[in-house]
Amino acid sequence: RYFIFRTPESYVQYILEAGFDAISLANNHVRDMGYQAYRRSMEVCDAAGLHHAGIYDTPSTVIIRNGVRFGFAAFSPHWATSRMQNDENVEKVISDLKKSCDVVVVMFHGGGEGKEYAHTPRENENYNGEIRGDVYHFSHTAIDAGADIVFGSGPHVTRAVELYKDRFIAYSLGNFCTYRSFNLEDLRGIAPIMNVFTDIEGKFLYAKVTAIRQPYPGYPILDPDNKAIKELQKLTTQDFPEMNNILFIDDLGYISKQ
């Protein structure tokens, strides 16, 4: 392991103050401090009222806002998390959520890392000797099982977006707000904040992207150059040419159906 991460417990309050309702604990660093530490992460979230998902025995959660039931599930290819490469697990977790929820949001942490992995392949990715999952297959499997929105993380750079069965997929949202020791050079220092709008059944209506960048040592500020939006436009055209007549991403970050 090249990096070991731990964030102060007190930071959970900042997450809540920023407006987050739920977070994913499914990632390749959740075990850095051992079993007791990731269990402690769950306890801290529970005590603060912050929903969480992604550990193998707590793969999902339900959030109710304005009478709408949102299901949230998280996955990764790593030990101790809900495994994204296990189709049976993915299908069961998501289909069970869909039975009791209006909209199901899924997040995964997978794929290679860095600017060399900005493109979205349609096969398993290997990085540093680890199998990091087939994010394309996973995302489609998740939607087939009942997911309405799929958000990706893991590559630390922005990746393309796709529409599948009228459901929205963002294959990587890059780095949002890091805590020390992260390389924020080149594409790793920009990211999209994605606001996705659906109907009550979860079908995609439109999305609005806000481009941010992170100065050292790592905190988000608005990016007047909209670099993350430009990356989304370029990568979606290159990696999903079939979307050219389906999705339109304008220069202000609005994503709409054509």
pLDDT of residue 30 exceeding 70: yes
Average pLDDT for residues 1-7, to the nearest whole number?
Answer: 77
**Tens of pLDDT along 219-235?**
899 999 999 999 999 99
DSSP structural state of residue 84: T
Structure-token pair, residue 186: 């080149």
Which tokens go with 76? 């990764």
Q: What is residue 182's predicted lDDT score, i.e. its pLDDT?
A: 80
Residue 252 has which token pair?
Answer: 């202000």
Whether 76 is covered by a domain: the verdict is: yes
Distances (CA, A) of 246 to 8, 56, 161, 230: 43, 36, 11, 18
> Where is average pLDDT lowest: 50-54, 179-183, 248-252?
179-183
Mean pLDDT of the chain: 96
pLDDT higher than 70, residue 205:
yes
Find the helix or strand (DSSP H, E) in which 105 lies: strand 103-109
Helix (H, G, I), strand (E, B) or coil at 52: strand
Nearest to 256 by CA among 145, 128, 157, 161: 161
**pLDDT value at residue 233:** 99
What pLDDT does 214 receive?
A: 94
Q: Domain tally for the chain? A: 1
In tens, the pLDDT along 50-90 reads 999 999 999 999 999 999 999 999 999 999 999 999 999 99
Is the confidence at residue 179, as pLDDT, over 80? no
Select the more confidently predicted residue: 184 or 241. Answer: 241
Structural domain range at position 58: 9-185
Instruction: Provide the 3-class DSSP secondary structure of residue 99.
Output: helix
Enter the tokens of residue 33: 């401090």
**pLDDT band with cut points at 50, 70 and 90 for residue 2:** low
Residue 154 counted as domain residue: yes
Whether residue 247 lies inside any domain: the answer is no
* Three-class SS state of 130: strand
Residue 77 domain-assigned?
A: yes
Over range 168-187, report the average pLDDT: 90
Is position 28 within any domain? Answer: yes
Other CB atoms within 10 A of residue 216 CB: 12
Question: Model confidence at 181, in pLDDT bands (50, 70, 90)?
Answer: confident
At residue 7, the pLDDT reads 87
Model confidence at 1: pLDDT above 60: no
Three-state DSSP at 173 gives strand
For the segment 156-173, the average pLDDT, to the nearest whole number, is 99
Residue type, 258: Q
**pTM, whole model, 2 decimals?**
0.96
Q: What is the rounded average pLDDT of the residues 156-182?
A: 94
Residue 98 lies in a domain: yes
SS3 70: strand
Least confident of 99-103, 111-115, 166-170, 176-180: 176-180
Residue 237 in domain:
no
What value does the mean pLDDT take over residues 120-143?
97
Could you tell me the CATH number of the domain that includes residue 148? 3.60.21.10
Task: Determine, yes or no, domain membership for 254.
Answer: no
Provide the token pair at 18.
């920023």
Nearest in space to 30 (alpha carbons), one of 69, 79, 71 = 79
Mean pLDDT, range 30-34, rounded to an integer = 90
